Amino acid sequence: MGSVRRRRGASSLVLLCAMAVLTAPGLATGTAYAAPAVPGAPATPAAPGAPLPGPGGKSLEQVRKDIEELYRQAGASTDAYNLAEAETKAQSDKIVEIANLIVAGKERIATLKSRAGAAARAQYRSGGLPPGARLALSEDPNQFLDGADRLRQGEKAASDLLSELDRTQTDLQRYAEEASERWQKLETNRVKQEDSKKQIEEKIKAAEELESKLEAEEKARLIQLEQEAQYRAQTAWLSTGAMKDVNGKATDAGKHAVQFATAQMGKPYKWGAVGPDSFDCSGLTSQAWRAAGRGIPRTSQEQLRLLPKVALKDMRPGDLIIYFDDASHVGMYVGDGAMVHAPRPGRNVTLAGAGSMPIKAVVRPDA
């Protein structure tokens, strides 16, 4: 952490709206800091509590909250879409695997039937008695013993052939049943994908329509309001002492993951994207850890479910921070109270305060 802190003045807290306040001494005493102004925004913000003009008679602050909630809901649907997509691919791959097993099984049955037919034809040509049986009936003791042994071998071979034929037919029946189940799951996941895609598009369209009704000056003020809300959340989070004991050091894999994630800064958010030109939130974190040599679940909800959870005080760079009760957003902790994430449509991959959104859990890909 020492080297990270020494770089703070240069780049580590190039947070949303240049949050130099993340470690400002005034936080310990509860001193209030104003968020930096945004180019194009009014020089003097409206007085606290004063309604700001917005579409439909709503205050601009309420419009901000509406847009934020729509994008958050779109994020939840994106997670559902990504999960359904991953499950659909898994089911498709399994169906192909089963189909190959069925083909191999049918070929095996054809071979076994051919062998059984050849044995039956040979027996027919010998007058109904296999060669071993004729030898067993011989009066010559040596021929009798040899014939008896060959007869036993023939019986075992016939028994083994019938058993293998039965097993193969049973396997084919099981494969057919499993393929049917997989097809049903495939269709279920396809429907989930379509439903999630529809919800994503509806939410994003509604948010974009709200934002499109704003004048240029209002849009600039909207960005400032977003930054101020994140600043307040980060300040409140830090004031609880949440970062007091957080001093974990990144592993080599964690460093690689952080380097990959921060190198994507400035690239646009796009739902369902996993790079290289755009990302959604879990697309960024999963690809960052893939670049570090660790495959992790694709979605934030699966990352929460399957990766080991760690206490906030034990958090170290590279860990993933899961946000909101529905685990619909994820960012990667980079140190000094900051995280990198792909925020939402219309925004780019950026740094932000780790406490700028409600934290649900911290998980560790390289536990």
Indicate the domain borders of the chain.
2-34+242-363, 83-203
* CB-based contact 325:357 (threshold 8 Å): no
Strands 338-341 and 350-353: antiparallel
The whole-number pLDDT of residue 349 equals 97
Q: Is the peptide bond before 276 cis (omega within 30 degrees of 0)?
A: yes
Closest by CA position to 130, among listed 146, 115, 150, 100 = 150
Rounded Cα gap, residues 224 and 12, in angstroms = 21
Residue 59 buriedness (CB in 10 A; 0-12 / 13-18 / 19+): middle
The whole-number pLDDT of residue 11 equals 37
CATH of 2-34+242-363, one of 3.40.50.300, 3.60.20.10, 3.90.1720.10, 3.40.50.800: 3.90.1720.10
Alpha helices of the chain — where are they, by DSSP H?
A: 2-6, 26-29, 60-125, 131-136, 141-212, 216-239, 252-263, 281-291, 300-306
Mean pLDDT of the chain: 78
Rounded Cα gap, residues 87 and 109, in angstroms = 33
pLDDT tens for the chain, 367 residues long, are 444 333 333 333 333 333 333 333 333 333 222 333 333 333 334 444 444 455 566 888 998 889 888 988 888 888 888 888 888 888 888 888 888 888 887 887 788 777 767 766 665 555 555 555 555 455 555 555 455 555 556 566 667 767 777 787 787 888 788 888 888 888 888 888 888 888 888 998 999 898 888 888 998 998 899 999 999 999 999 999 999 989 999 999 999 999 999 999 999 999 889 999 999 999 999 999 999 999 999 999 999 999 999 999 999 999 999 999 999 999 999 999 999 999 999 899 999 999 999 999 999 999 8
- The structure tokens listed for 82 are 């990504």
Residue 340 buriedness (CB in 10 A; 0-12 / 13-18 / 19+): buried
pTM value surpassing 0.85:
no
Catalytic machinery residues: 281, 329, 341
In this structure, the number of other CB atoms found within 10 A of the CB of residue 311 comes to 10
The whole-number pLDDT of residue 139 equals 56
Rounded Cα gap, residues 314 and 363, in angstroms = 10
Residues in the chain: 367
In this structure, the number of other CB atoms found within 10 A of the CB of residue 212 comes to 9
Closest by CA position to 63, among listed 236, 226, 201 = 226
